Amino acid sequence: MANQKELFNIKSKVALITGGGRGLGRQMAEIFASSGCHIAVCSRKLEQCEETARTLAETFGIQAKGYACNIQNENDVKETVRQVLSDFGQINILVNNSGATWGAAVEEMPLNAWEKVMNVNLTGMFLITKEVGRHMIERQSGKIINIGSVAGLKAEPPQVLNAIGYSTSKAAVHHFTKDLARKWGQYNIHVNAIAPGFFPTKMTNHVLSEKGDEIRKHNPLGRIGDDDALKGAALFFASPASAFVTGQILAVDGGSSL
């Protein structure tokens, strides 16, 4: 019978986290590193990733490294995964956290804005999942955590969120999660998603500064997410505790999606 430590043990595993240099990605990197997991973080901004990796390594005594990667570029993705495997030897956990948004009314949204959001949130996720997935299939083991959004679970009024490209892409992330879980379960690869509600990040700063009080007022728990609110769900999906869980979308939103 497994005990608590065994259920949540990810010590010496290797996690690759896209968009891991700041925000929610960094928060998930912190909880993994504090559990003894080695960390690879990548984004287009190398300096942020290197600073995060350096801090995690010094704080938790694990191996960590930052990489520059544009996940929309297939060659970039292939080279980054190759480098991570060369440096760490394996990838046990993939967190697809990189994301983009664009706020505009539907009738005013430029095509290039729509394409940017789709390319990052969907195509980029597909490219890196495919590349890491080949390695996981060979190992017959893996944990994939996709970061969706409550915006992909329900339609918000335009006064709260007017970003149809973002909402649509996150709904697609949720279905991608379920479909991939069905396809890769045979390889002992678990694929799940977290759908965060409002958290204070660079992406949400503008909305929260203008509408934060109203968002809190309508949240069943009366608040927005803090720096620790996502960590438990991420650790659950990354660890043996979720060994019989795949294809699930977990809303971490204080009940706002109800």
Active-site residue numbers? 166
Judge contact between 199 and 152, C-beta under 8 A.
Answer: no
Neighbours of 237 (CB within 10 A): 25
52: Cβ contacts below 8 Å, ≥ 6 apart: 20, 21, 22, 26, 29, 41, 64, 66
Q: Which string of DSSP letters, residue by residue, matches 79-117?
A: HHHHHHHHHHS---EEEE-------B-GGG--HHHHHHH
- Exposed / middle / buried, residue 120 (Cβ in 10 Å: 0-12, 13-18, 19+): buried
| Cα dihedral across residues 185, 195, 117, 165: positive or negative | positive
Residue 52 CB-density burial (10 A; 0-12 exposed, 13-18 middle, 19+ buried): buried
Q: Look at the block and give the residue holding tokens 């505009």.
A: 104
> How long a stretch of residues is the chain?
258
Distance CA 122, CA 129 (A): 10
Q: What angle do CA 194, 161, 42 make, to 5 degrees?
A: 45
